[in-house]
Amino acid sequence: MEIQISLGASLFFIVLYFVVKTAVRNGVVEAHNSMDGGDDEDEDSIAMTTCPNCGRCHDIDYPKCPRCGHS
């Protein structure tokens, strides 16, 4: 009787261990993906243009080139 209870408890904890481990691993992967996605989104959200005068890439929102002042 005690052996059966002990065996059942061991199996329960083994299953619980794998469930928790899988959940933690998925959570870490999701957090990592969301972090990468955020970085990509930031890069994509900034529209860049190249200055025709000096060739420097700068934010398209700048009315003038921050390097040479070409507008």
DSSP state of 38: H
Structure tokens at 67: 């390097």
Structure tokens at 3: 């052996």
Please report how many Cα atoms fall inside a 13 Å half-sphere around the Cα of residue 38, on the Cβ side: 6
User: Between residues 6 and 50, which has the closer beta carbon with respect to Zn ion?
Assistant: 50
CB of 21 to Zn ion, least distance (A): 54
Structure tokens at 26: 């998925």
Site string for Zn ion, 10-39 (x = CB under 5 A): ------------------------------
Residue from 9, 54, 57, 60 touching Zn ion (CB under 5 A): that is 54
Helix, strand or coil, per DSSP, at residue 53 = coil
Number of residues that bind Zn ion (CB under 5 A): 7
Which residues contact Zn ion (rule: CB under 5 A)? 51, 53-54, 65, 67-68, 70
